[in-house]
């Protein structure tokens, strides 16, 4: 059951009639659960798609890119430079280069939220990253956790499955109760699941159990952020940015409001990849290898 | 760059931190060779200068890999990796 | 004078009745969120088997030891494990107590005093629950895991350590047509390596004794021996050793000679 998966999305800038004549660069971010493709025209966001990752990384990359190119008339041959990133980054058959996701995320967040961003939290399906960056979107510090499911989308999935709550409803439900319960004390998702079962037996409502788990998750994420260093402005990317139950609690614990964007927060990595693709292409052209 | 490699799980926080700003001539000095478990590898940073990092496959196994260097009793003041680095670029969270 | 030890584990509650230097009866039942109820039921089963109205003293141990209302005393898991293991295997120097939700590695001096110990009850990757969850993913019973693992002929690498991620990895290994035998062995090897890192921290010595419900798994025991590179003994009825330790304390409490 896919209680936790976010819906797929695609977007194209309606104000750009034609891409011909512009420098077309792209980024593809193959994550463990979702894959994003982003296309830029002269370094400006033009189109993107956010899809589920299938069992085959190269196919997932191609499908996401085809979806992003849909209705634009673009073909793979038109992409002047493509960067692959994410855990499946070496499996993007049409990429010219692969770049680590930390580097891409910082750069993408710099574009999405502007040059004032200094701290980025990225929570994906199977990992959680805290990234510090400068005004150009270059990484100054990072801390990552992909060993343990607590503090990742998957951890939330386990609890959502247990309570049979669709992922979109976790946030609103967890914020619908008066006051805040004690957080679930176990970090480990498996032990937290046992604890949640115990709480339900003790008569807690689903909403209250969700609140206790969202709070536990927020506490853990804030610990990761604080260990890496927190400096404003602060932005949250990845699937978890869509879970208000965790985001609101992180903001409260940090005493900082995260910057908002209307764009899909999951595209940060692919967007950064496409921006870096542009840099690399310009570098090549300048050195005459273009 | 302050690079934290490792993980946190229910049992604790296990990160090796490398301050790549302190790294200097890693390649010539052979600093990465000091780890008995071979955890370190030189990787190009943003300016394509090779600096020390933790091998990707080893990052989620630091707790186990470092166990022999960190006995509960009589732990040395400087770990072998810190000794071979010599520039105080390497710290451990546990 | 009957002394009873009750080990209230996260998964099972075990009881041992003791008198005059020997075990008279054993009983076990799932704890199932009813700590006191399960302990009371185990106690009743023991008494029914012995046809006795009550024990002279009851001592509790284990995760739920403080919730057992009828106990005359309680001791922590380290003390009960040491007492029981030293009784079952007098030369024990390194005790590894592996339960469903906890792993304890206890190093002893030659005289049986505790030297140092390391406990993990916070991460499921190094405890019995890990194997149980993976067995479900493999669609085999816990009892099958050991024999399957012993028939493994090929090393299959498993990268994920977290129960949640390892579950998906096992499913994908099945899809890759890896054999259940080899996957079972990979699961046990992973747990063994994580336990071995605790052993390395306290420092390895000979005289290794494995206790707790999880070590009844013969495949795991073999992988643990391989990881340690040393012999490791599994005493008879290894899941009752901590309850036995508690019973020995109960006998002392009752004034009898343990």
Q: What is the pLDDT of residues B5-19, one digit of tens each?
A: 999 998 889 999 999
Q: What is the pLDDT of residues C58-111, one digit of tens each?
A: 999 999 999 999 999 999 999 999 999 999 999 999 999 999 999 999 999 999
Q: Do C208 and C229 belong together in one domain?
A: yes
Q: What is the dihedral of CA A80, A83, A88, A90, to 10 degrees?
A: 80
What chains are in contact with B, requiring at least 3 Cβ pairs below 8 Å? A, C
* Structure token pair of residue A97: 């280069």
CA C59 – CA C158 distance, rounded (Å):
41
Q: Provide the domain count of chain C.
A: 2
Average per-residue pLDDT for chain C: 95
Instruction: Kindly state whether C41 is in contact with chain B, defined as any CB-CB distance less than 8 angstroms.
Output: no
- The pLDDT assigned to A190 comes to 95
* Residues with Cβ within 8 Å of residue C11, at least 6 apart in sequence: C30, C31, C99, C100, C101, C128, C213
Q: What is the pLDDT of residues A4-21, one digit of tens each?
A: 455 678 999 989 888 888
The residue of chain A with its CA nearest to that of C10 is A194
Q: Do C43 and C112 belong together in one domain?
A: no
- Which of A154, A186, A201 lies closest to C164 in CB terms? A154
What chains are in contact with C, requiring at least 3 Cβ pairs below 8 Å? A, B
- For residue B18, give its domain range: 2-92
Fold (topology level) of A9-107+266-286? Nucleotidyltransferase; domain 5 (3.30.420)
CA A152 – CA A217 distance, rounded (Å):
8
Instruction: Kindly state whether B15 is in contact with chain A, defined as any CB-CB distance less than 8 angstroms.
Output: yes
Q: What percentage of chain A has pLDDT greater than the value 70?
A: 97
- The pLDDT assigned to A240 comes to 82
Q: Do C40 and C98 belong together in one domain?
A: no
Q: Do C216 and C142 belong together in one domain?
A: yes
**pLDDT tier for residue A288 given thresholds of 50, 70 and 90:** confident
Q: Do C192 and C217 belong together in one domain?
A: yes
Residue whose tokens read 């916070």 = C122
Q: At what angle do helices C128-138 and C142-150 cross, to 10 degrees?
A: 80
Antiparallel, parallel or unpaired: β C22-30 and B90-92: unpaired
Q: Do C46 and C172 belong together in one domain?
A: no
The residue of chain C with its CA nearest to that of A187 is C122
Identify all chain A residues contacting B4, using CB atoms and an 8 Å cutoff.
141-144, 227-228
Q: % helix / strand / coil in chain C, to the nearest 5? A: 45, 20, 30
* Interface with chain C: mutation pick from A145, A191, A204, A220, highest number of C CBs within 10 Å: A191
Instruction: Kindly state whether B10 is in contact with chain C, defined as any CB-CB distance less than 8 angstroms.
Output: yes
- Which of B3, B9, B46 lies closest to A142 in CB terms? B3
Identify all chain C residues contacting A186, using CB atoms and an 8 Å cutoff.
122
Q: Exposure string (b/e) for A276-290, b if CB count within 10 Å is 16 or more?
A: bbbebbeeeeeeeee
* Interface with chain A: mutation pick from C122, C161, C163, highest number of A CBs within 10 Å: C163
Q: Provide the domain count of chain B.
A: 1
* Structure token pair of residue A149: 């499911």
- The answer, yes or no, to whether residue B23 has pLDDT greater than 90, is no
C-beta of residue A148 within 8 angstroms of C-beta of residue A179: no
- Which of A148, A186, A198 lies closest to C33 in CB terms? A198
- The answer, yes or no, to whether residue A2 has pLDDT greater than 70, is no
Q: Left, alpha or beta for B6 (phi > 0: left; psi -120 to 50: alpha)?
A: left
Element (DSSP H or E) covering residue C179: none
Q: Do C82 and C107 belong together in one domain?
A: no
- For residue C23, give its domain range: 1-89+240-258
Average per-residue pLDDT for chain A: 91
Name the residue with higher pLDDT: A56 or B79. Answer: B79
C-beta of residue C83 within 8 angstroms of C-beta of residue C99: no
Instruction: Kindly state whether A9 is in contact with chain C, defined as any CB-CB distance less than 8 angstroms.
Output: no
Distance from CA of C228 to the nearest CA of B (A): 13
- Which of A139, A187, A228 lies closest to B10 in CB terms? A187
**ipTM of the complex model:** 0.89
- The answer, yes or no, to whether residue A145 has pLDDT greater than 80, is yes
CA angle C227, C231, C233 (to 5 degrees): 110
Q: What is the pLDDT of residues B38-83, one digit of tens each?
A: 999 988 776 777 888 999 889 999 998 998 899 888 888 999 999 9
- The answer, yes or no, to whether residue A144 has pLDDT greater than 60, is yes
Domain of residue C11, CATH code: 3.30.420.40
Q: What is the pLDDT of residues C176-200, one digit of tens each?
A: 999 999 999 999 999 999 999 999 8
N- to C-terminal Cα separation, chain A: 48
CA C76 – CA C130 distance, rounded (Å):
24
Q: Do C226 and C104 belong together in one domain?
A: yes
* Structure token pair of residue A173: 């439900």
The residue of chain C with its CA nearest to that of A186 is C122
* CATH homologous superfamily, domain A115-258: ATPase, nucleotide binding domain (3.30.420.40)
At C196 the three-state DSSP class reads helix
Q: Where in chain A is the domain with CATH 3.30.420.40?
A: 9-107+266-286, 115-258
- The pLDDT assigned to A80 comes to 95
The residue of chain B with its CA nearest to that of A188 is B10
- Which of C126, C196, C201 lies closest to B71 in CB terms? C201
Identify all chain C residues contacting A154, using CB atoms and an 8 Å cutoff.
164-165
C-beta of residue A203 within 8 angstroms of C-beta of residue A237: no
Instruction: Kindly state whether B41 is in contact with chain A, defined as any CB-CB distance less than 8 angstroms.
Output: no
Q: Do C99 and C183 belong together in one domain?
A: yes
Q: What is the pLDDT of residues A245-275, one digit of tens each?
A: 999 999 999 999 999 988 888 999 999 999 9
CB contact under 8 A, C197 and B70: no
CB contact under 8 A, A189 and C163: yes
**pLDDT tier for residue A3 given thresholds of 50, 70 and 90:** very low
* Structure token pair of residue C114: 């505790």
CA A164 – CA A157 distance, rounded (Å):
10
Q: Is the peptide bond before A233 cis (omega within 30 degrees of 0)?
A: yes
Residue B87 neighbours by CB distance under 10 Å = 15
- The answer, yes or no, to whether residue A238 has pLDDT greater than 70, is yes
């Amino acid at each position: 059951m896919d209680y936790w998966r976010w819906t797929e999305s695609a977007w194209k800038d309606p104000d750009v009639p034609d891409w011909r004549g512009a420098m077309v660069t792209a980024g593809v971010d193959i994550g463990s659960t979702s894959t994003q493709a982003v296309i830029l025209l002269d370094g400006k966001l033009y189109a993107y798609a956010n899809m589920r990752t299938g069992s085959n990384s190269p196919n997932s990359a191609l499908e996401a890119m085809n979806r992003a190119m849909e209705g634009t008339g673009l073909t793979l041959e038109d992409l002047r430079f493509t960067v692959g990133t994410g855990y499946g980054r070496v499996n993007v058959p049409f990429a010219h280069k692969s770049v680590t996701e930390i580097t891409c995320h910082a750069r993408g967040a710099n574009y999405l939220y502007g040059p004032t961003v200094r701290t980025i939290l990225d929570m994906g399906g199977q990992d959680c990253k805290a990234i510090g960056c400068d005004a150009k979107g270059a990484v100054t510090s990072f801390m990552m956790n992909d060993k343990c499911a607590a503090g990742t989308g998957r951890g939330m999935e386990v609890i959502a499955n247990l309570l049979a709550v669709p992922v979109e409803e976790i946030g609103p439900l967890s914020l619908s109760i008066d006051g805040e319960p004690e957080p679930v004390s176990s970090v480990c998702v498996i032990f937290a699941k046992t604890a949640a079962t115990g709480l339900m037996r003790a008569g807690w409502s689903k909403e209250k159990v969700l609140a206790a788990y969202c709070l536990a998750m927020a506490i853990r994420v804030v610990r990761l952020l604080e260990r890496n260093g927190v400096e404003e402005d602060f932005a949250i990317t990845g699937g978890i940015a869509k879970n208000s139950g965790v985001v609101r609690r992180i903001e409260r614990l940090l005493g900082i409001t995260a910057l908002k964007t209307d764009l899909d927060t999951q595209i940060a990595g692919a967007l950064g990849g496409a921006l870096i693709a542009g840099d690399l292409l310009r570098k090549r052209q300048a050195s005459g290898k273009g | 760059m302050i690079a934290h490699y490792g993980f946190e799980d229910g049992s604790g926080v296990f990160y090796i931190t490398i301050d790549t700003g302190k790294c200097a001539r890693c390649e010539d000095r052979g600093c990465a060779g000091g780890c008995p478990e071979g955890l370190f590898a030189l990787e190009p940073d943003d300016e394509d200068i090779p600096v020390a990092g933790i091998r990707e496959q080893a990052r989620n196994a630091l707790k186990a890999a470092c166990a022999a260097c960190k006995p509960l009793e009589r732990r040395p003041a400087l770990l072998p990796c810190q000794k071979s680095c010599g520039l105080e670029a390497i710290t451990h969270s546990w | 004078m009957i002394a009873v030890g009750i080990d209230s584990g996260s998964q099972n509650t075990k009881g041992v009745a003791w008198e005059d230097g020997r075990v008279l009866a054993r009983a076990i039942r799932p704890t199932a969120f009813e700590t006191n109820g399960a302990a009371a039921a185990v106690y009743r089963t023991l008494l029914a088997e012995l046809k006795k109205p009550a024990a002279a003293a009851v001592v509790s141990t284990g995760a739920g030891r403080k919730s057992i209302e009828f106990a005359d005393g309680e001791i922590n898991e380290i003390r009960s494990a040491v007492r029981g293991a030293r009784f079952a295997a007098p030369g024990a120097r390194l005790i590894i107590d592996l339960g469903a939700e906890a792993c304890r590695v206890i190093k002893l001096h030659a005289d049986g005093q505790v030297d140092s110990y390391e406990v993990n009850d916070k991460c499921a990757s190094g405890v019995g629950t890990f194997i149980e969850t993976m067995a479900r993913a493999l669609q085999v019973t816990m009892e099958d895991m050991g024999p399957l693992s012993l028939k493994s002929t090929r090393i299959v690498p498993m990268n994920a350590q977290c129960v949640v991620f390892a579950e998906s990895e096992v499913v994908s290994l099945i899809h890759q047509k890896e054999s259940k035998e080899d996957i079972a062995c990979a699961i046990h090897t992973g747990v063994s390596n994580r336990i071995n890192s605790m052993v390395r921290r306290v420092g390895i010595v000979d005289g290794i004794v494995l206790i707790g419900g999880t070590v009844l798994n013969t495949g795991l025991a073999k992988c643990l021996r391989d990881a340690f590179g040393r012999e490791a003994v599994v005493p008879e009825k290894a899941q009752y050793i901590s309850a036995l330790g508690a019973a020995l304390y109960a006998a002392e409490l009752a004034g009898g000679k343990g």
